Amino acid sequence: MNNPGLTTKKLKIFSIVCMFLFIYMETVCLWPACASETDEKHSVPPTRVQTTLTADLVAQVNPDGLLLMTGGYRRWVQETEEDGMQTRYVQAGLGLGVSPAYVKGSVHGEWQPAIFANLRVEYDIYGFFGSNTGLLSFSDEDAGFGKQELEDREGTEEEATGHRLLFQPTLYAKAGSMLIINQTDLSYFRFNGDGPYFLELEYDTLVKDGDFVIANRTQFLAPSWKGAGKAVLYLGPYYEITFARNTDITRQRAGGQLYWLPMDTLWGMNKPRIYSQAGVNIQDRNRDNEFYMAFGFGMDFDL
């Protein structure tokens, strides 16, 4: 006799994989039209090395959070179009993030073999402060972790460490002027707290020590305003699904987003950006049909 719980898990994983494959096929079908335009341009041959420092501040509501992320990377650019778009490169970098709940250090490698595909591998180590929900342990995978439950658990956080290994493929497609982005996170977590279940703050879910989280997000971005140089405003809808394997928790979100580059440079910094997402938790154990929002801004500095 089949196990209904196991069957449900398999169906959820299957649906996420099918979505990834659908976007892949969409990329293969739609990108050649865009590529035929770029083929008319002459690629600027050889490799050049680019070193960039980055800084971003992101805030979110429901669940509430704040994160300052700084870092840097070195990129070996193998192919660049005349319009400045980097189509093939290899990249390595470091990052440091700080929130009220934890500090995070990261190291990553990234490879973009073609204009429509990007592959990233990242390792993160977390140091939890023992406050502001970092790190919270739960004895039951069915425990609630909504706003009220977290307020009731205030003062029970642990000073602990955690680890994440992330594999993140991203696919790009174009339909006319519409940019389509599909990104998948395959994350593996370890924690040294009491457990056996832990509140994972970046995906807002419960995980077990040694657990996997799968997240997939699809974005549709249309240029709604074009300024001087590279200044542009993108607007469009997006959809996200997150699944924690051992706790069998699924969250789905849908909403709108913006990504705005108001100018090429600001105060000597490159790529000043403002970005935001807002929408509804259409499936969430603690926040069904509730509004959420995220807002951030950042800048780069090329050395």
Question: Is the per-residue pLDDT at 3 higher than 80?
Answer: no
CB 291 within 8 A of CB 280: yes
- Between CA 280 and CA 292 the distance in angstroms is 6
Among 126, 111, 209, 208, residue whose Cα is nearest residue 162: 126
Question: Is the per-residue pLDDT at 102 higher than 70?
Answer: yes
- Residue 201, by phi and psi: left (phi above 0), alpha (psi -120 to 50) or beta? alpha
Question: Is the per-residue pLDDT at 92 higher than 80?
Answer: yes
186 or 143, greater pLDDT: 186
- Domains of the chain and any CATH numbers: 4-302 (2.40.160.40)
pLDDT at residue 31 in the model: 42
- Between CA 152 and CA 201 the distance in angstroms is 17
43 or 125, greater pLDDT: 125
- Between CA 201 and CA 194 the distance in angstroms is 17
Greatest Cα pair distance, the chain, in angstroms, is 66
pLDDT band (50, 70, 90) for residue 82: low
CB 162 within 8 A of CB 130: no
- Between CA 172 and CA 80 the distance in angstroms is 17
For 11, the enclosing helix (H) or strand (E) is: helix 4-39
Question: Is the per-residue pLDDT at 240 higher than 70?
Answer: yes
Percentage of the residues of the chain whose pLDDT score is greater than 90: 72
297 or 18, greater pLDDT: 297
Q: Around 176, how many Cα atoms within 13 Å sit in the side-chain half-sphere?
A: 5
Task: Summarize pLDDT for 251-266 with one digit per residue, the tens.
Answer: 999 999 999 999 988 8
Task: Summarize pLDDT for 206-227 with one digit per residue, the tens.
Answer: 999 999 999 999 999 999 999 9
pLDDT at residue 73 in the model: 97
Task: Summarize pLDDT for 23-65 with one digit per residue, the tens.
Answer: 444 443 344 434 444 444 444 456 799 999 999 999 999 999 9
Question: Is the per-residue pLDDT at 17 higher than 60?
Answer: no
pLDDT at residue 275 in the model: 97
Q: How many CB atoms lie within 10 A of CB 282?
A: 16
Q: Over range 262-273, report the average pLDDT.
A: 90
Question: Is the per-residue pLDDT at 19 higher than 70?
Answer: no
DSSP string, 18-75: HHHHHHHHHHHHHHHHHHHHHHTSPPB-S-EEEEEEEEEEEEEETTTEEEEEEEEEEE
- Six token digits for residue 267: 């105060």
Mean pLDDT of the chain: 87
- Between CA 153 and CA 136 the distance in angstroms is 8
pLDDT at residue 27 in the model: 40
- Between CA 274 and CA 80 the distance in angstroms is 25
pLDDT at residue 195 in the model: 87
- Between CA 131 and CA 126 the distance in angstroms is 14
Q: Over range 261-273, report the average pLDDT.
A: 90
